[in-house]
Amino acid sequence: MVSSQSSQSTQTPSETELILLSGASRGALLEKIAALQSFCAKHPHDSLGDLAFTLATQETPSEMRLTLVASSVADLEKKLTRASERLQDSNCRQIRDVQGIYFFENPLGREGQVAALFPGEGAPYLGMIGDLPSHFPEVAQVISQCDEMTRSGGQAQLSRFLSVPEEADQRSQLEQELGGLGNTMFSVLMVDWALHDLFRSLGITPDAVAGHSAGELAALWVSGSLVGQLELEELRQTMDFLDTDEQSADSESVLLAVGASRESMQELLVEVSTEFGYAADASPLFLAMDNCPHQTVLIGPPEAMAKVAEVLRERKTMHERLPFNRPYHTPLFEPQMGPMARMFDRMQFQVPKIPLYSCTTGRPFPHEPDAIRELAMSHWIRRVEFSQMIRNMHDDGVRIFLELGPRGNLTSFVSDILRGREFLAVSADVQRHSGLTQLHHVLGQLFAQHVPMQPAALYRHRELKTIAWNSKMLAPVPL
């Protein structure tokens, strides 16, 4: 959708910095840690940004890697001490401290593949990606171009959803607007692509891609399967039409997100279908999404779904009614597929340039353009098989799953699906961190896992200087 390279300088203050250290052996890494501890003790008021910049541009990555996310020189010194204490224990094989300390003795990036995952509807929230547009012109340009698309269509700017108003009434109004089908689809794809452009600018390219629900549109584009640019304004208009059609419909569907396995929920739907006299091959109750072992999404008519909810309450099974009634990923949505089908008919498809997995079949997309179109379109009336897709990707060699989109739901799903196996799942955006701080945490883990990247590119929009923290500094890495 949007590609950009910019040399524009940004001087927005950074609340955290990413510190990268490495050594040929654990002993060499411990020596680096000791040298940096000594520097921090002697220079407590030096710029943490200059230090981070120096380490990213002057140090050549080697075998043993430690990364830290720090808010100050004092914070860095404390984390270096904790890391040193743990690494001096030869039994320590990895450190994954959520405060920002990362080390992996057997990194997955040496041989394992990296997959990019793109979330869809249900992921957007007010304030998503936070301060990233102010730090990275690549991100700001994507947002600006999407705003221009909405302006040309006579709509309000999507960027209004990237901040959280202080006034409760304003927040409530924006949340209601974000819930509209056109806005939620357009905004999640905008953020998906903005994050993709950002990570690509940092030298991180996935070996495979996949999307969840509407996120599959982003995956189709990123893989090169969708020719040219996806017309987001046309997508927004299509979704707005569906939203209006849904609101005027005589009947509605109820959607429940349930904290239970696919198998148990399929049994429950059979029980309720039998009680309501539905024929086995004509029941309007569907398991629409198999997200992970502990989350499924059920869809059906209000009366029968009320019975489903009653049974779930009796069994003390966690569940939540979702705030919309669109029967996506079931045959119930087929009567509303007209606008979607016309949109897909106008798209041009080709063989993906990198492996593209289908969230419908759980397998890679076919290599025939017409078959790609048919499968992508049928995704909207067929079950989301996210669990099976992730298991298949892992079987095919993917070990690192990078979620490029808001909130981090897919990262949680992957962690549940692959529990007990070797993998890393990280999200580029979460609500508990600012955009930049979460970026630092993600890049820190990827670097420590030996994922190829260009750390120096993180600073191409900042005016920083190198500092002599270590007399054994190597030749600079070009920006």
Pairing type for strands 94-97 and 113-118 reads unpaired
Q: Report the percent of the chain where pLDDT is more than 70.
A: 92
Q: What is the mean pLDDT of residues 11-25?
A: 93
One domain, residues 98 and 124: no
313 with 386, same domain: the answer is: no
The predicted model gives 198-225 an average pLDDT of: 97
pLDDT computed for residue 431 by the predictor: 95
Tokens at 254, concatenated: 């109820």
Residue 154 has a pLDDT of 82
Total structural domains within the chain: 3
The one-character DSSP state at 408 is: -
Backbone angles phi, psi at 184, to 5 degrees: -70, -40
User: pLDDT at position 479, please?
Assistant: 46
CB-based contact 7:54 (threshold 8 Å): no
Q: Is the pLDDT of residue 3 over 60?
A: no
Q: Looking at residue 98, what is its pLDDT?
A: 97
Q: pLDDT band at residue 233, thresholds of 50, 70 and 90? A: low
Q: CB of 223 within 8 A of CB of 160?
A: no
Q: What is the pLDDT of residue 229?
A: 66
**Which of 324, 340, 373 corresponds to the end of one domain?**
324
Instruction: Note whether 229 and 350 are same-domain residues.
Output: yes
Q: 398 and 356 in contact (C-beta within 8 Å)?
A: no
Asked whether residue 244 carries a pLDDT value surpassing 80, the answer given is no
Residues 142 and 222 in one domain: yes
Q: What length does the chain have?
A: 479
The per-residue pLDDT for range 154-171, each reduced to its tens digit, is 889 999 999 999 999 999
Largest CA distance in the chain: 80
Do the domain assignments include residue 188?
yes
pLDDT over threshold 60, residue 473: no
pLDDT-based confidence at 252, cuts 50/70/90?
confident
Is residue 231 included in any domain, yes or no?
yes
- Position 13 scores a pLDDT of 83
Label the pairing between strands 64-70 and 101-104.
antiparallel
Tell me which amino acid residue 375 is: L
Strand ranges for 230-285 from DSSP E: 254-258
Q: Supply the CATH number for residue 24's domain.
A: 3.30.70.3290
**Predicted pLDDT at 6:** 39
What is the CATH number for 416? Answer: 3.40.366.10
Give the end of a domain, one of 293, 324, 355.
324
Query: In this predicted structure, what is the pLDDT of residue 241?
Result: 72
Given a cut of 80, whether residue 150 has pLDDT beyond it is: yes
Q: Is residue 1 part of a domain?
A: no
Is 11 within a domain?
A: no
- Confirm whether 40 is domain-assigned: yes
Average pLDDT, the chain: 93
User: Do residues 224 and 293 both lie within one domain?
Assistant: no
Question: Looking at residues 181-189, what average pLDDT do you find?
Answer: 89
Q: Is the pLDDT of residue 231 over 70?
A: no
Is the Cβ–Cβ distance between 90 and 105 less than 8 Å?
no
Question: Range of 282's domain?
Answer: 254-324
Tell me, yes or no, whether 348 lies in a domain.
yes
Question: Tokens 């095919």 label which residue?
Answer: 396
pLDDT at 475: 43
Same domain, 349 and 263: no
pLDDT (0 to 100) of residue 245: 62
Whether 316 and 340 map to the same domain: the answer is no
Verify that 101 and 207 share a domain, yes or no. no
The backbone torsions φ and ψ at residue 23, rounded to the nearest 5 degrees and listed phi first, read -150, 160
What confidence tier does 326 reach under pLDDT thresholds 50, 70, 90? Answer: confident
According to DSSP, the residues that pair with 296 across neighbouring strands are: 258, 290
Residue 467 has pLDDT above 50, yes or no: yes
If phi > 0 it is left, if psi is from -120 to 50 it is alpha, else beta; for residue 414 that is: alpha
Question: Is the domain of 88 the same as that of 163?
Answer: no
Task: pLDDT band for 153, please (50, 70, 90 cuts).
Answer: confident
- DSSP H helices, 101-250, are 132-135, 137-152, 168-178, 181-201, 215-222, 232-247
* Per-residue DSSP letter, 444: H
* pTM of the predicted protein model: 0.94
pLDDT-based confidence at 323, cuts 50/70/90? Answer: confident
Is the pLDDT at 7 greater than 70? The verdict is: no
Q: Are 346 and 412 in a shared domain?
A: yes
Is the pLDDT confidence value at 183 over 80?
A: yes
Phi/psi at 254 (5° precision): -110, 135
Q: Are residues 160 and 208 in the same domain?
A: yes
Same domain, 226 and 340: yes
Sign of CA dihedral 222, 228, 232, 235: negative
Residue 353 in any domain: the answer is yes
- The contacts found for 154-163 with CB under 8 angstroms, 24 or more apart, are 155/182, 155/236, 158/183, 158/186, 158/187, 158/190, 159/133, 161/124, 161/126, 161/128, 161/187, 162/127, 162/128, 162/129, 162/130, 162/133, 163/126, 163/127
Is the per-residue pLDDT at 288 higher than 90? yes
Residues facing 68 on adjacent strands: 19, 101
pLDDT of res. 11: 62
Q: How far is CA 133 from CA 162, 298, 403, 440, 444, in A?
A: 9, 37, 18, 15, 20
Whole-angstrom distance, CA of residue 302 vs CA of residue 321: 11
Of 14-28, 98-112, 246-260, the poorest mean pLDDT is in 246-260
